[in-house]
Structure 1
């Protein structure tokens, strides 16, 4: 039986197994096996020719956005395309508003299978394999989804018999498996429902109220400006404008940085040696109490601030 058949059999067994106290250990083991087989599926085949054609997209610019649509679903090249999304800063999931729920479910499942976790945070679980001493299990919160016995069974499935485990939040078996595997990617996702001109206003309102969702119509150019605003917000980018002494600020060429960037980050973006020659900076904008304000390297910049750097 191949890996795909094994995955299919486990998924069917999970679907038909009723979830209760008596079956939680069995389900936990099934999920651990499923995660192992999915990881094997993503590994390059040893029998494949070294001359095989790869797939990647050169990273450039200030941020990377993965645009995932329904044609991306499936095996082969489609799976490779989705795997590239692991290196993105934000995922935009393009959905047809007339059949968005079906498409969304399939795409989320596909991304889940390659280790991408959408709009989730990394589980607050401390896990460290050891050379001896058995399994040490502790928790700082009341656990309702995992027990010490289930944690041990999952670890044994991965051939781990000595480890230190500390739960700092109430996590599910799936989240614990993600911590063991250690290669999961957690990233924000914006669900974009297109073709809203083909559905009722009530349905548009329902989709628009969903978390992390934007409704648009590319054909009629509806709500595209709001999509750009949301994308900028999800990327957490900041525009910083520069100013030379005695001249007006240059508003045509902004420096793009991550939210929370300091004056030192601005210096490194302009030139790698500028921070070592830095004396002070004058900043105009919302990050200062008054304009201009003299600041140092640790000052945090805000969106659309203007900066003038003075060297030693």
Structure 2
């Protein structure tokens, strides 16, 4: 009996032949199994697909158990925020819409194969946004955990048009648990961090509802707000329609909880286009250290210009700087 394979099957098979990672191959095989005609003529083909999926999953589990350094992402800008989500959640489209990065964007799963960074501009600073390969029930790239644990914040990106929205969120939650990441809404006090179980990393988190222009987005958004509205902050965006992307950029910056500080030399104006960014609560001596370690060691005092001080007020090394303060450092 002829197989009578559909164009959808041939397309999935083509992607399988081109796939490089086990996760991509598994996704393609799943698609092949879903679209292949179910009749006697395809029995052997369906059995072969199941066999190949089983072997790939077993191999992936064995390889995942082996520690591998994997790829890394050099930190840039005011801070690093990573995106995690299920296949086709819209992470790559969001990265493309908000940065100069050019990830591949397609309507099939596992388009992203490695971490892809881009820089999101907010006013006069830039935040590094990192796109991860998607997570699935069958496979998660083992190197993703370490990059996520070292980041400043994490975005749970979900597809507002997906019929599996809640399942996708639960999958992300379980992944965070496996990575020993404790999602938080605000920075924890030192004593709260010390109280966490050994190895657990607290990481600022926000839910990003992508594809807000989808016809089903309003109903799914109501469900999200009803279930998670009192637990997690939520922002809706549409990369395709460029909806709420300015707010998205500000959200990334706010999650970092940093301040911008400018420096100037006596008698000259400060360069307000390139601030130093430091964690909120940093002191004058911390700013001096970012300029040069010798200046920090020799610093006697600073003059400061800011919204709640008179111009040129003298402050000591341990003065806590505020956002957009201007410092004149004296050694």
Same fold (TM over 0.5): yes
Residue of structure 2 in register with 1:80 after alignment: 143
Worse overlay, 56-65 or 196-205: 196-205
Residues of 1 paired with 2:190 and 2:261: CA distance? 34
The correspondence for 1:107, drawn from 169, 172, 194, is 172
Residues of 2 paired with 1:259 and 1:236: CA distance? 6
> Structure 1-normalised TM-score?
0.60
Residue of structure 2 in register with 1:186 after alignment: 202
Aligned residue pair count: 214
Contact 1:95–1:193 under 8 Å retained in 2: yes
The correspondence for 2:267, drawn from 241, 246, 249, is 246
**Aligned-pair Cα RMSD in Å:** 3.2
The correspondence for 1:93, drawn from 156, 174, 191, is 156
Residues of 1 paired with 2:309 and 2:213: CA distance? 47
How is 1:13-52 mapped onto 2 (pairs within 5 angstroms)?
Answer: none
Q: 1:254 to 1:126 in 2, by over 3 A?
A: closer
State the shift of 1:264 in Å. 0.7
Q: 1:252 to 1:123 in 2, by over 3 A?
A: closer
Q: 1:88 to 1:273 in 2, by over 3 A?
A: same
State the shift of 1:186 in Å. 1.2
State the shift of 1:123 in Å. 11
Q: 1:115-149 CA deviation, whole Å, 9 max, x = no partner? A: 1111176997999xxxxxxxxxxxxxxxxxxxxxx
State the shift of 1:89 in Å. 1.2
State the shift of 1:58 in Å. 3.5
The correspondence for 2:74, drawn from 54, 59, 62, is 59
Residues of 2 paired with 1:268 and 1:123: CA distance? 23
SS in 2 for 1:92: strand
The correspondence for 1:220, drawn from 214, 223, 241, is 241
Residue of structure 2 in register with 1:291 after alignment: 311
Q: 1:299 to 1:252 in 2, by over 3 A?
A: same
Residues of 1 paired with 2:166 and 2:81: CA distance? 22
The correspondence for 1:263, drawn from 272, 277, 284, is 284
State the shift of 1:83 in Å. 4.2
Q: Which runs of 5+ in 2 are unaligned?
A: 1-60, 88-133
Worse overlay, 61-70 or 207-216: 207-216
Is 1:117–2:172 an aligned residue pair? no
Residue of structure 2 in register with 1:69 after alignment: 85
Contact 1:218–1:224 under 8 Å retained in 2: yes
Residues of 2 paired with 1:87 and 1:42: CA distance? 25
Residues of 2 paired with 1:207 and 1:76: CA distance? 25
SS in 2 for 1:78: coil
Residue of structure 1 in register with 2:297 after alignment: 276
The correspondence for 2:250, drawn from 220, 226, 229, is 229
